Amino acid sequence: MNEAEATMDTDRGAIPMKDAETPFMADIKVAATNVDVFYGDTHAIKDVSVDIGDKAVTAFIGPSGCGKSTFLRCLNRMNDTIDICRVTGDIRVDGADIYDRTVDPVQLRARVGMVFQKPNPFPKSIYDNVAYGPRIHGLAANKAELDEIVETSLRRAAIWDEAKDRLSEPGTGLSGGQQQRLCIARAIATAPEVLLMDEPCSALDPIATARVEELIDELRANYAIVIVTHSMQQAARVSQKTAFFHLGSMVEYDDTETIFHNPSDKRTQDYITGRFG
Amino acid sequence: MVDMAALTKLHASPITATRVKARRRAETRLKIYGITAIFLAALALVTLLSSVFYKAAGALTESYINLPVTLSAEEIPVDDPGSANFGGLTKDVMKEVFPFVTSRRDRRDLYGLVSSGASFELQNKVKADPNLIGGVITFPFLLSDDADLYLKGFFGTLTSEDTDGALSISGNVTEVGEEVQLFSTANDFVAEVAVVKELLLIEAARVRADAERQERGRAVFTERAQAASTDEQREKLIAGATGYATQRDALNARADDLEDRALRPGGEEPLSSETPSLLLEVNGGWIDATRVSATGLVGEVVVPLFSDADAAPGEWVLHVMETPENARKVNDKQVIWLETLRSNEATETTFNWRFFTAGDSREAELAGVWGAIVGTFFTMLVTFFLAFPLGVSAAIYLEEFAPKNRFTDFVEVNINNLAAVPSIVFGLLGLAIFVTGVEFEVWGREIVIGGFAPRSAPIAGGMVLALMTLPTIIIASRAAIRAVPPSIRDAALGVGASKLQCTFHHVLPLAMPGILTGSIIGMAQALGETAPLIMIGMVAFIVDIPQGITDSATVLPVQIFRWSDFPERAFEAKTALAIVVLLGFLVIMNILAIILRKRFERRW
Amino acid sequence: MIQITIFVVLLLTAAAYLTGRTRAVTAGGGALATLHSRPSYHGFYCAIWVLMVGIAAILVIAIIGGALIEARLMAAIAAADPTLSQIEIDLVLSDAQAIAAGDIASRSGDLRTAIAQQFISAETMRIWAVLVVGMGAALATFMVTTRQINREWRARNRSERIVRYMLVTSAAIAIMTTIGIILSLVGETLNFFANIDWQVWKYVFGLTWSPLSGVHSGEMDADKVGAIPLFAGTLMITIIAMLVATPIGLMAAIYLADFASPTVRSIAKPMLEILAGIPTVVYGFFAALTLGPAIRGLGEGIGLTVASESALAAGIVMGVMIIPFISSLSDDVLNAVPQSLRDGSYGLGATKAETIRQVVLPAALPGIVSAVLLGVSRAIGETMIVVMAAGQGANLTANPLEAVTTVTVQIVMLITGDTEAATAAGPAFTLGFTLFCVTLGLNFVALRIVRRYREMYD
């Protein structure tokens, strides 16, 4: 099955579609309105507005450098760690402005978790990697609870079976795909509501990619998931809604099916059909 | 399975909010540690530099006294002016200015005001211009280091106190050394008596503490005596205790006496070399007080007065020198002479050019750094001409030609380790191999390896420093060569240049700015090195300015080391100024390196 | 005279270059492209041979001649007065040389004047020999090399090979320096141990250091060469220094790497570089004349007895000296921790402090350990600060307010002291060898850790 999907991935012509049985627009989890981002003098994101639904996967696609990752990093204020970055506009999670002065980004990031492009397990044991978040946020009252959180997270990230016998071994010893699922487990362990994934499969081989995509689909039941990808097939496979970014602006945002079959903008169509990218 | 959704709700709970606050506080703490660390480092730097600069300021000027000199043709032969006794002449000049100084001791103190170098300077001046002979010239005599320090205020300043009364004088006021009595119509000396009495109290407290110690000794001995096993021992111990008791009583009695004197109002108190000095200026003369009461004092004439006529209020001045006589290197008489000269406007303070042009000297006022600067220059010259070509060649070989094998690895490990070997070990190497030579016995014959360099010469020092600098230059040059992109090499090799041509025609010129920057920084390190040069004997006292790399020489850092060890107070300022000079050279070299880097920095 | 010979050789070198080039041009016969090597390579090849042979000849003749003359004169002295001991013969010889040079000799006498006469005549011969042989060799090389030039002559390859050998030789200097260090230290160390009858343990574990106390009787007292007081003093000052340098340096590095704004960085980094560039003698001056008295005054103010040369003052100042060392090495190490690890931690909602403490520092630990080890090695080998601000008496104490002495101080004291160089060299070089071994070990371990660490993240 994995191999079949992998071959499809390379085949640009056939775009496999998800038969979307889930009801489409659920509650809005994250609402961004008129967001602009500046890196020093560079205007990186231009007036982007987007509503992200709960219990669904939203994909951001677009050519490299179009700003989709930058926008993603606004949603949990990861851009705060870059000195020269400045964000304006309004971003709300569950109706609350996350750029409000009273909001501590540290608390926000516990609720809006993030998985990165390259698997980045800490040079610690698998257990400590997953327990890191719950420990700093004080989610577990005792060791038994922590053990449970770790197990739950590893199960949800579909890596429990591979990791349960080697919890005390370093996380860096896992294979690339396992590392990425470990990172997903690590993000889940802080009990977030939203999961941001920045090209989570770009450093993985096709088989590992398929596992992670499956996992994303399972996780959809519990989280609002936003995934940045430059693989259109991946967006088509895992997401319900898709936003197309180009040169810092959001060109089009719609149901994934609509974007891939009936885009309203010429640029989207050109990108989908492979004229540029 | 844990209910993750329940955990999610925790994120919005007040418990979490307090927790986050605590976590933020922990972060602020870490930040404060960091800022404190940087602040402490900055504080250390500022303290270090400012203490050096503050001390150095004292050596920036030197003091002279301008006095008329009669260059009589009888004493100075015109055809050979150098043969005259200029030392005697200088003394005569001083005698002329202070004719009333007659006792041997006072004369010696008086001559001590002028530097021993002054007569040589006078000699040189006359030798250079024999036409002066027969006339009278005004010549600036260099003051000795202590007199110079006094004029700069290093021993405290002489303050003039307000006086209200009229002063009556009795005694022989025209003879130096005679005791005179002075009475003021007002309580003009009350403050001074109070100071002296305060000192008495301090002294009394010290004596009491001493007495207490005796008492403790007595107690211990008594206790031991009770516990003693033999009579003989007991007697001994009791005798000891009695001794302590006697001493205790004597000390207590002294303390009582001192306290009594201090607390009793009025009365006359003696002044000593441990109390502030009171110097009275009246009727054109000076009196050094030996005893003081609220309204009068008894003193010794130092500069004779015109007359013993009464002085109206405001016509006499009371000078106070807070620093006691034994805490300064100029005694009361010298203070008075210097003050007389100063009020006659004979003293002069000029910028201390001598410091930058003279060689070393045992006399602080004559010592300069020029010899050390020249020695440093020669040493650095040797270092550069050895370390630079060798270092660059080694770097070229390692980067461009060396095959990746054990030898190359070994060389690399060697270079890295050499960079961290303590400098003193290099000094021992230099001493053994360059200076004394290592002896071996081969087939019954003694063979000496090395030992060709003269001790304490720049050539030996330069070679040692070159070996020390070599790793720095090699590492920097390798980095610079590595930064040249391979495309340049490909291009050169592609048009048929040999490997060597490619390296010397293309890679090396492009890497040169980086190599030079690294080399300058290496040289700056070498410039500050002291320990290895001490090892090879560059600590000798060398007055002459070295003329070449084989002459005996010293270098700036070693000069600093030696001077800092001298007991004369004036050398402290000289040392600090020498440090400023050294830092100046370092700053220049580093600026050069920065300019070079900025100017030729190239990014591929 | 030797200078003139060298000058002549240099002239011949220049001539060889020009001749070689001209000959090559002639050999090319107008069509330079037909030459194997460009004319300047021919010139270079001739010149470098002339130079090498000339200088080598001068050196060989000068050195061998000197040794020969010395041996012959010594034999002459021994023959003239067979009662003289070897040292007396040496003395007579150096006196004779002084007389010959017109300097003041320690003593004069018929024998000395006679030897001086012999010396002068032999010396004249040596100089002439140097001149003739040096110039002759250079000239011969000149003839041979310029003769060889023809169209096919591979001058470029040959001169490049010579240059390559020169490059290899330069690179080998590093090894030669290490060998030189070991050679010069080991000989005296073995001598020293032989003098104490190979009771090495008395040196390593002995508690009394006074190696020169038995010098007048010509014996080294094995009971008085115990280096423990020196090791203890070195250790104490090193510990004080590291207690100052490690927290400050590390905290500064953490702040600069993860918290500081670019403005703060642009001020703090050069400041630390300045601190690093200050010569140790300046630190020593500061310790001895500013901090030492200050600590003493402070101590007396609160009723403590502080020696004017206390371990504390020297240690603190040495710590300040090592701060930039630790901070710049740690800064490198912290910056080498990939940003992705930091991002991963921030992404989980960790604060910067938590990220640093729980992710960055553990990841950077090997590097920081090696930075501290290198710092320790510097502290142990540092000389000027302790010579100027720590004590000189070997004093076994645990009180940092007292004066202690260190290995480096004792080396300086022994070498610069009044004792005859040959006697003082034994203990001094033994201490030097100990110092070399300890610092070498520390550096070796530290560099290995760093190398492994670099490989981990590259």
Residues 6+ apart with CB under 8 A from C49: C16, C141, C145
| pLDDT above 50 for C224 | yes
Residue with tokens 């569950």: A94
Distance CA A157, CA A147 (A): 15
Distance CA C421, CA B439 (A): 14
Nearest to A118 among C261, C340, C348 (CB): C340
**Parallel, antiparallel, or unpaired for β B179-184 and B167-171?**
antiparallel
| pLDDT above 70 for C105 | no
| Alpha helix ranges (H) inside chain A | 2-10, 68-74, 105-111, 126-137, 143-156, 160-163, 176-189, 206-219, 232-238, 256-261, 266-272
- For residue C163, the chain B residue with the least C-alpha distance is B500
Give the per-residue pLDDT at B602. Answer: 67
Distance CA B360, CA B552 (A): 13
Nearest CA-CA distance, residue A111 and chain B, Å? 7
Nearest to C175 among B40, B401, B410 (CB): B410
DSSP code, position A141: S
Q: CA nearest C314: which of C229, C384, C411?
A: C384
Instruction: Give this complex's ipTM.
Output: 0.87
Give the per-residue pLDDT at B49. Answer: 95
Q: What tokens were used for C242?
A: 């590291």
Instruction: Count CA atoms closer than 13 A to A269's CA, side-chain side.
Output: 6
Nearest to A104 among B4, B8, B20 (CB): B20
**Parallel, antiparallel, or unpaired for β A57-61 and A241-246?**
parallel
Asked if the C-beta of C341 comes within 8 angstroms of chain A's C-beta atoms, the answer is yes
Q: Confidence band (pLDDT; 50, 70, 90) for A245?
A: very high
| C347 contacts on A by Cβ (under 8 Å) | 76, 78, 109, 113-116, 187
| C358 contacts on A by Cβ (under 8 Å) | 122, 132, 136
Which residues are bridge partners to B1 per DSSP? none
> Would you say the C-alpha torsion A53, A54, A60, A65 has a positive or negative sign?
positive
Of C34 and B259, the one with more pLDDT: B259
DSSP code, position C211: T
Distance CA B312, CA B524 (A): 66
Of C455 and C281, the one with more pLDDT: C281
Residue with tokens 């405001």: B314
Distance CA B445, CA B33 (A): 66
**Conformational region of residue A170, where left means phi above 0, alpha means psi within -120 to 50, and beta covers everything else:** beta
Asked if the C-beta of B575 comes within 8 angstroms of chain C's C-beta atoms, the answer is yes
Give the per-residue pLDDT at A6. Answer: 40
| pLDDT above 90 for A239 | yes
| C412 contacts on B by Cβ (under 8 Å) | 424, 531, 534-535
Name residue B449's amino acid: I
C347 and A81 within 8 Å at the Cβ level: the answer is no
DSSP secondary structure letters along A95-130: TEETTSTT--HHHHHHHEEEE-SS----SSBHHHHH
Distance CA B147, CA B94 (A): 14
A120 and C340 within 8 Å at the Cβ level: the answer is yes
C 246-265 residues inside an 8 A Cβ radius of A: 261-262
Which residues are bridge partners to B278 per DSSP? B320
Asked if the C-beta of B493 comes within 8 angstroms of chain C's C-beta atoms, the answer is no
Distance CA A20, CA B567 (A): 94
Question: Which pLDDT tens digit goes with each residue over C122-157?
Answer: 888 888 888 888 888 989 998 888 888 887 888 888
A109 and C347 within 8 Å at the Cβ level: the answer is yes
Nearest CA-CA distance, residue C192 and chain A, Å? 51
Which residues are bridge partners to B320 per DSSP? B159, B278
Distance CA C16, CA C49 (A): 9
Neighbours of B101 (CB within 10 A): 21
Q: Confidence band (pLDDT; 50, 70, 90) for C262?
A: confident
Give the per-residue pLDDT at B308. Answer: 83
Give the per-residue pLDDT at A12. Answer: 38
C353 and B428 within 8 Å at the Cβ level: the answer is no
Q: Which of C154, C251, C329, C439 has the highest number of chain B CBs within 10 A, making it the mutation to test binding with B?
A: C251
Give the per-residue pLDDT at A2. Answer: 43
The mean per-residue pLDDT over the stretch A58-62 comes to 92
Q: Helix count (H) and strand count (E) of chain C?
A: 17, 0
Question: Which pLDDT tens digit goes with each residue over A154-170?
Answer: 998 889 999 999 999 99
Give the per-residue pLDDT at C4. Answer: 83
| pLDDT above 50 for A14 | no
Task: Report the run of H or E that residue A243 belongs to, with start and end.
Answer: strand A241-246
Question: Which pLDDT tens digit goes with each residue over C386-429?
Answer: 999 987 877 888 888 888 899 999 999 998 887 777 778 888 99
| C346 contacts on A by Cβ (under 8 Å) | 78, 81, 109
Distance CA B100, CA B305 (A): 11
Of C245 and B544, the one with more pLDDT: C245
Of A275 and C346, the one with more pLDDT: C346
Nearest CA-CA distance, residue A150 and chain C, Å? 14
Instruction: Report, as ranges of residue numbers, the positions in chain B whose pLDDT lies below 50.
Output: none
Distance CA B142, CA B337 (A): 15
DSSP secondary structure letters along B81-146: GGGS-HHHHHHHHHHHHSTT--SHHHHHHHHTTB-TTHHHHHHHHHHH-GGGTTSEEEEEEEBPHH
Q: Which of B8, B19, B30 has the highest number of chain C CBs within 10 A, making it the mutation to test binding with C?
A: B30
DSSP secondary structure letters along C11-70: HHHHHHHHHHHHHHHHHHTT-GGGSSS-HHHHHHHHHHHHHHHHHHHHHHHHHHHHHHHH
Q: What tokens were used for B60?
A: 């920036």
Which chains pack against A, by 3+ Cβ pairs within 8 A? B, C
Nearest CA-CA distance, residue A178 and chain C, Å? 16
**How far is Cα of residue C247 from the mean position of the Cα atoms in its chain?**
31
| pLDDT above 60 for A23 | no
Q: Average per-residue pLDDT in chain C?
A: 87
**B-C Cβ pairs (cutoff 8 Å, strict):** 262
| pLDDT above 80 for C195 | yes
Nearest to C440 among B27, B393, B417 (CB): B417
Nearest to C346 among A81, A122, A190 (CB): A81
Neighbours of B253 (CB within 10 A): 12
Q: Average per-residue pLDDT in chain A?
A: 85
3-state secondary structure B63-75: EEEEEEEECCCCC
Q: Could you tell me what percent of chain C has a pLDDT over 90?
A: 36
The mean per-residue pLDDT over the stretch A257-262 comes to 90
| pLDDT above 70 for A4 | no
